[in-house]
Each structure stands twice: as C-alpha cells, then as structure tokens.
Amino acid sequence: MRQGAAWGGGYLVRAAHTGLSWGVTLALFLHRTDLRKQEEHGEVLQPLIFVLLVLCSVLLYFVVSLMDPGFIESDEEEKVGMNEEQRVMMPQFPSNVWLRRCGYCMLKQPMRAKHCQLCRHCVRRYDHHCPWIENCVGERNHPLFIVYLAVQLVVLLWSFHVAWSGLYFEQSWEWLQHNIFLLLSFLVIAIFTIVVLLLLVSHLYLVSCNTTTWEFMSHHRISYLRHCESENPFDQGVILNLWRFFCACRLVTWEKIYFQEDNDPV
C-alpha cells in the first residue's frame, strides 16, 4: 500500500464519510422511528443488525479507500520482497507485445492502464478516480468497490424506511425544532440513495461488458480501442466477464485477450 497516495489529503473526506454515517445513524435512534420503538420494547435484533450493517459499510469504505488499486511498480520495486507465489500472480506478457511508457512516471504501462494525476501513479485497468474515497478505482479494488456500493445501498434503503417511519408532518415551528435533524437525515439519505443506486447499476453494466468508466467515456481517444475492429475486444460474454471480475484472484494480462482477436498491435 502506498501511504502517500492513501492518505494524501484524504483524511478529511474519510472523516466526513465516517461522521456522516454515524451521525445519521444516531439521528435515527434519537427520534421516534421504528428502530427506536423496537429498542424501547426490548426487541434488539433489528437495531443490532442495522448497526452492524452500518459498521460493515464503513469498514468496506476504508478498505477500498486505503488499499492499492493496482499501482504499477517499477521493475526494481517488483523484485523486492516478492515470493514465488506472488511472482506467479503477476501477469506475464507475450514476448511480441510492446508496452508503452507513461509520459508522466516513465514506467512501462500495460494495456488498460492509465496514469492518475491526482494519485501520481499509473493504475492497472484504470476505471476512475473517486473523490469520495479519495483513491483510484482499479483492477485490485474495483470488485470491493462494487461490494461496498451494494452494502451501502442496503443500508441507505433501510435508513430511508426507518427515517420515514419517524416523520409525522405538522405545520408548526415546534414540530420543526424537534424533527429538524431527522428531516435533514431523511434528505441526505434520499440524495445518497439515488447516487449510490445509479453508481451501482452503471458499474454492474460496465463490468458485465468488461469495460471501464474511462474506456466507456473516452473510447474515441484510447488508441487500442480506436484502432480496433471490434467495439469491445475484451468482452467475453456476461458470465465469463463477471466471473473474471469477481472470482479471479490474479491480475489479468489484457494483451493476451486483445490479440486473440488478431488485432493489429497498437
């Protein structure tokens, strides 16, 4: 893990995420919501599960935010401290494939990698730089990023239901004073539910097609896609795409898949 990339200016964002998550949770328990009523009646199972889900979403957030997204190491860095099993896990490139060098860090850049100017490193199978996690989403942390979005969506949908159960609308200043934090929490939950839902659906669609956000948005500017006869040379069918993405435990040599289509080298 690169500590500079992981913590560079991101502690405020991570603190905001953590504070917002637990602040909204606290507001749901302080007002007369279903969770509060169950807790008062001694029914602690659902409140406990809810808190554990919030904790799980926060932990997943930190894992995705702080882990190596697939930074490309120099030849010297790759050799240091690498055992035989780790060497096997590294992708082996065909001898006839030429790897271009990054114009920023001058490292050999495998196909589908991109240099992130915010992280100041090249990232394997670069998807995008996410400001909410203050880290890149790449080949190593993309699957966990989607798992995080799914867990977060479950928490948000449940929170939406709980917050709604505590709202009873009256046209009085006293009602607003007593419910202002619950009302604000409800609005925050509603906004984030829409955002997370759209993110999860879009990423699942892109993964099922074996493409990335960067490739989808910049198809006309990427040389290995612009000069390719097929629209997506990495697409191997929905089932195999999903299996490779979620179940494969090693980095993929995308050059091998690309040149299986007998495309001209780029």
Enclosing H/E stretch for 177: helix 173-208
Q: Which residues contact 29 (CB under 8 A, 6 or more apart)?
A: 35, 36, 39, 47
| The pairing of beta strand 114-116 with beta strand 135-137 | unpaired
Contact 50, 154 (CB under 8 A): no
Q: Are 241 and 207 in contact (CB under 8 A)?
A: yes
| 130 part of the active site | yes
Closest CA to 142 of 232, 234, 206: 206
> Rounded to whole angstroms, how far apart are CA atoms 253 and 233?
13
Catalytic-labelled residue, pool 119, 122, 130, 136 = 130
| Lookup: tokens for 237 | 């069918």
Reference 23, options 163, 133, 154; nearest CA is 163
Distance CA 177, CA 170 (A): 11
Active site residues: 130
